[in-house]
Amino acid sequence: MTINFYNFLLDKFKGYTTLLFEQIDFKEGSYLHDVTITLAATDAGIGVSHIEYSLDNGATWKRYEEGLTVSKEGKNSIQYRAIDKVHNVSETKTIEVFITSATIENAISLVKQAKGNNGIKTSLSAQLEDVIKTFEKGQKNKAYQSLEKIYSHTNKFTNKDLEEVDKKEIMFMLQYILEHQSANSGDESPALLAS
């Protein structure tokens, strides 16, 4: 997922900022796993020397080269600013990016928060909890097979069972877990990974 931030700066950095976002993955405003941020600045005066960013609330600044990838789960606060060729510094801007990891626990949370039939939600949550237990027993192949069945079954739900947007989010997370199963090595399972 890539987010593009274009920082348009006028003479003496008294400009304005326009932010362009890629579509978020989840309705509460978060992205699934890594997000790449692209920064660009222009100055009608002397010209831009470089862009800097900070991931620690301005304690340290790094020179932006190309594509800043954010992957830490939860709230990520990114500050950025531009410096022109005579060392004028633009106003510091802050953006927040929220990352949700693809874990079975997070899929269960999506199910519990979903709008729909409580019996369906309870059943789906219990099935996903069983998958966690299967992973914990070391039965990785069986766990992924169960996850595939849950994914397929969820796809058949109607709007009466689960609201469409919630169903899509749950399926999106399950699909990500299934597609990345080969990336999980050793005894780790998507139920226990906390990217």
The full DSSP string for 43-94 is: ESSS-EEEEEEESSTTSS-EE--S-EEE--SEEEEEEEEEEETT--BPPPEE
**Which of 30-44, 63-77, 130-144 has maximum average pLDDT?**
130-144
Order of strands across the sheet that contains 62-63: 30-32, 93-100, 74-84, 48-54, 62-63
Residue 79 scores a pLDDT above 60? yes
At which residue do the structure tokens 């609330």 appear? Answer: 57
Of 126, 121, 98, nearest to 170 by C-alpha is 121
53-66 residue pLDDT tens? 999 999 999 999 87
- Cα–Cα distance for residue pair 51/35, rounded to 1 Å: 19
Query: Which H helix or E strand runs over 113?
Result: helix 104-113
pLDDT band at 110 (very low <50, low <70, confident <90, very high): very high
Sign of the CA dihedral with 63 first, then 66, 72, and 74 last = positive
> For the whole prediction, is pTM greater than 0.85?
no
In this prediction, residues 30-52 reach a mean pLDDT of 81
